[in-house]
Structure 1
Amino acid sequence: MTVPFVDLSLQHQPLEAKIQEALMTVVRDGDFILGKAVTEFERAFAAASGVKYGVGVSSGTEAIALGLQANGIGVGDEVLIPTNTFIATVIGALRSGAKPVLVDCDPATALIDLEAAAKAITPQTKAIIPVHLYGQMVSPSRLQDFATTHNLLILEDAAQAHLAEREGRKAGTIGQAAAYSFYPSKNLGSLGNGGIVLTDEEAIAQKIRCYRNYGATQKYIHEELGTNSRLDTLQAAILNLKLPHLEGWNRDRNRAARSYDAALASLNQDGITSLHNQSGTGHIYHLYIIRINSSCPLNRDEMQKQLGDRGIQTGIHYPIPCHLQPAYKFLGHQKGDFPHAEKLCQEILSLPMYPGLTEDNIAIVVAALQDIVTFKG
């Protein structure tokens, strides 16, 4: 039996008629750019996240870039970023004109190591982008203490953390702004690209609205050096339709993760462990990650191949840390600079995770892992 890595049909099929109607409503209205559905979604997602303002943009990458730019971060400024993240976090910082300063991660959670970040601070450091990775938030209390101590702006990268919670706080409520992606496979995904910036500051929201639309405060009046980075009305209509289901989908992911945790416990002695959940039910498990460490009879790549041979699809998030990516040699790093991230990228494996993943699916995945380990052992 094949177990897909992601199965979006489970959420789309029950909504198919409503999706078609939502799309046709936009077509009939003809408001394809910054239409009514965009405004409705901006308000609804901000409210669901406990934040005052939302500004829809074209992608999560643009959300990072414009979020920094609207907060005055640009040329000459340094921004702390974990090297264990998708490259879009780094690209967003570069798009703003700032310099990314990469730091290592906590091996237990894969989240940014704030102690390592403190050692990387210089007089030019103006901001930190904590990545709420895999669906788990960086500790809000520790993050705010860190930012206050070092006088840094916080821009949350919440691209994998839609409605995630920790310490009684939701993603998006910790910093001056937060960036989200609505790539189709996200917990809340569109049918293409899309993103949003959340903020409690009206002035910041107004600046992003201006920047995303050619720097215009009104049509043909361009008061800022802007860009074309708008959330499409068609995508906003889909996101409006999906948003009421998001909390339930997140609970389903957390339920599946708990089942994985229980079933995989017996494999810890064989070198297969999961990342540490420090958030309880607030972890929304965009991805479920295991580590194949050196005490396992197989390495990660061999394990992934054997699972694939058994019809179980997996992923690696991420196989190469940002500081070792060929295009980013100019940042001046080399192998060995960030040992925790480098070790993680050799061991981590993402198992199937999506709303609707059944207990039978999980049992098949775990049984395959057990069989592979037993056979090789």
Structure 2
Amino acid sequence: MKTEIDANIQAVLDSAQFIGGPYVAELEKRLAAFAGRGYCVTCANGTDALQAAFMAAGVGNGDVVFCPDMTFVASVEPAKMLGAVPVFCDILPDTYCLSPESLERQIQAVLAEGTRTPKAVVAVDILGNPCDYDAIAPLCERYGLILIEDAAQGFGASYQGRRACSFGQIAATSFFPAKPLGCYGDGGAVFVDDSGMEALVRSLCVHGQGPGGKYDNVRVGINSRLDAIQAAVLLPKLKALEDYELDARQAVAERYRAAFAGKLVTPAVTAGGVSAWAQYALLAENGERRDRILGYLRERGIPSMVYYPKPQHALPVFQGLPRYGETYQNAMDYCARTFSLPMHPYLGEAEQKEVIAAVLEAL
């Protein structure tokens, strides 16, 4: 895609319109259509997208935001900054997504305590795998909670025929370079169906401006816009993602599954879902075996990564938060044993065989 991307970048430089402009407008239109959503508002990064989502949802002091215990800190960090209390839930042992059973236990525990207000659920499409929204969405409806989809890793995934970023009242994604749809720096987007919510998110991302323009500030907002150059990069990459990259990711994941089935715990895809395979995470027998495999891969010059070494409840920033009796057994087990291998749509079969052979030798 180099020729097209370079031409787009040069066009932005020639225009000197670095903020907003036709590339940003076209990207928002295409992203909304791809996700099957009414509106898309781009912003500076995935964390800002989540912060705008929390602000638009009215999350604030005394509210509780429920979130899976195994995710990146950004999934709930902005909620804490707004004064809300994160309450973590365990994950499912096979898909690693938010456990609906743990979520309901935590909701009921917060309600029984009676000192805080359950406000929202952040459902994270972790590692590119969509959540079980047929179970999570009814829970949100039953308890009057706002469902926010964190599709930072899940863009391109689908569940029951619907694409990621189409679930919940509001969804957020990231265009960090390592994501399934990555730009040449930072970028993010918010997805909604309601025109009033779109106007609110747009206002929040530009200093809370009102209908009168940039000096008509009607609310406290943030400064978060996607650079025109990043939009110019993302447009051809979005087409490639839809045309062939998602299929290529499935092929890479299947080769890994076939090689490691019965030797390591391979990731399961949510029933009715298609993963975007942002990462390919395996579980070793135990942490010691995992670390030996990683050491062997380093010696061979093969990249690897641990997503994520600590569950959220164990991070220093979240010490002292209420746990309501939850043990987070699945999240802790995952974090102690997980490691990820190279995963992208341009991983050739011969190159992947080298990676597989090294892991099997390590075992």
CA contact 2:46–2:189 (8 Å) conserved in 1: yes
Cα distance in 2 for partners of 1:105, 1:54 equals 29
Q: By how many angstroms is 1:334 displaced?
A: 12
* Aligned residue in 2 for 1:276: 268
Note the 1:338-377 alignment, pairs <5 A. 338-373=328-363
Cα distance in 2 for partners of 1:351, 1:280 equals 25
User: Which of these residues, 43, 50, 53, is aligned with residue 64 of structure 1?
Assistant: 50
> Is the aligned partner of 1:166 residue 2:162?
no
> Is the aligned partner of 1:183 residue 2:169?
no
Aligned residue type for 1:257 = A
> Is the aligned partner of 1:193 residue 2:189?
no
TM-score of the aligned structures, taking structure 1 as reference length: 0.89
Matched position secondary structure for 2:51 = helix
Matched position secondary structure for 2:93 = coil
* Aligned residue in 2 for 1:236: 231
Aligned residue type for 2:270 = Q
Cα distance in 1 for partners of 2:55, 2:137 equals 21
Cα distance in 1 for partners of 2:316, 2:101 equals 27
CA contact 1:74–1:96 (8 Å) conserved in 2: yes
Note the 1:263-302 alignment, pairs <5 A. 263-265=259-261, 268=262, 270=263, 272-279=264-271, 282-294=274-286, 299-302=289-292
CA contact 2:54–2:79 (8 Å) conserved in 1: yes
Q: Does the C-alpha gap of structure 1 residues 277 and 114 become closer, same or farther in structure 2, counting only changes over 3 Å? A: same
> Is the aligned partner of 1:328 residue 2:318?
yes
Q: By how many angstroms is 1:280 displaced?
A: 6.8
Q: Does the C-alpha gap of structure 1 residues 279 and 28 become closer, same or farther in structure 2, counting only changes over 3 Å? A: farther
Cα distance in 1 for partners of 2:320, 2:226 equals 32
Q: Deviations over 1:56-106 (max 9, x none)?
A: 111111111111211222222111001100111121222343221111111
Matched position secondary structure for 1:285 = coil
Cα distance in 1 for partners of 2:325, 2:166 equals 35
Cα distance in 2 for partners of 1:239, 1:343 equals 36
* Aligned residue in 1 for 2:253: 257
Cα distance in 1 for partners of 2:209, 2:268 equals 46
* Aligned residue in 1 for 2:114: none
Runs (4+) of structure 1 moved beyond 3 Å? 332-337
User: Which of these residues, 210, 222, 238, is aligned with residue 227 of structure 1?
Assistant: 222
Cα distance in 2 for partners of 1:311, 1:113 equals 36
CA contact 1:324–1:334 (8 Å) conserved in 2: no
User: Which of these residues, 173, 192, 213, is aligned with residue 206 of structure 2?
Assistant: 213
CA contact 2:41–2:191 (8 Å) conserved in 1: yes
User: Which of these residues, 99, 115, 122, is aligned with residue 101 of structure 2?
Assistant: 115
Q: By how many angstroms is 1:231 displaced?
A: 1.1
Matched position secondary structure for 1:129 = strand
Q: By how many angstroms is 1:332 displaced?
A: 5.0
Cα distance in 1 for partners of 2:96, 2:52 equals 26
Aligned residue type for 2:246 = N
* Aligned residue in 2 for 1:24: 10
User: Which of these residues, 92, 112, 136, is aligned with residue 78 of structure 2?
Assistant: 92
* Aligned residue in 2 for 1:10: none
CA contact 2:292–2:362 (8 Å) conserved in 1: no
Aligned residue type for 1:288 = Y
CA RMSD of aligned residues (A): 1.9
Q: By how many angstroms is 1:330 displaced?
A: 3.9
Could you tell me which runs of 5 or more consecutive residues in structure 1 were left unpaired when the two chains were aligned: 1-14
Identity %: 33
* Aligned residue in 1 for 2:141: 148
Q: By how many angstroms is 1:250 displaced?
A: 1.4
CA contact 2:43–2:49 (8 Å) conserved in 1: yes
- Of stretches 32-41 and 82-91 in structure 1, the one that deviates more from structure 2 is 32-41
Q: Deviations over 1:186-213 (max 9, x none)?
A: 1100111110000111111101110111
User: Which of these residues, 131, 135, 138, is aligned with residue 131 of structure 2?
Assistant: 138
Q: By how many angstroms is 1:361 displaced?
A: 2.1
* Number of aligned residue pairs: 353
* Aligned residue in 2 for 1:8: none
Aligned residue type for 2:219 = E
User: Which of these residues, 87, 90, 106, is aligned with residue 104 of structure 1?
Assistant: 90
CA contact 1:254–1:281 (8 Å) conserved in 2: no
Cα distance in 1 for partners of 2:5, 2:236 equals 7
Aligned residue type for 1:181 = S
Q: Deviations over 1:213-252 (max 9, x none)?
A: 1111212110011111111111111111211111211111
Cα distance in 2 for partners of 1:158, 1:116 equals 20
> Is the aligned partner of 1:45 residue 2:31?
yes
Matched position secondary structure for 1:26 = helix
Could you tell me which runs of 5 or more consecutive residues in structure 2 were left unpaired when the two chains were aligned: 112-116
Cα distance in 1 for partners of 2:16, 2:309 equals 43
CA contact 1:156–1:175 (8 Å) conserved in 2: yes
Q: Does the C-alpha gap of structure 1 residues 152 and 335 become closer, same or farther in structure 2, counting only changes over 3 Å? A: closer
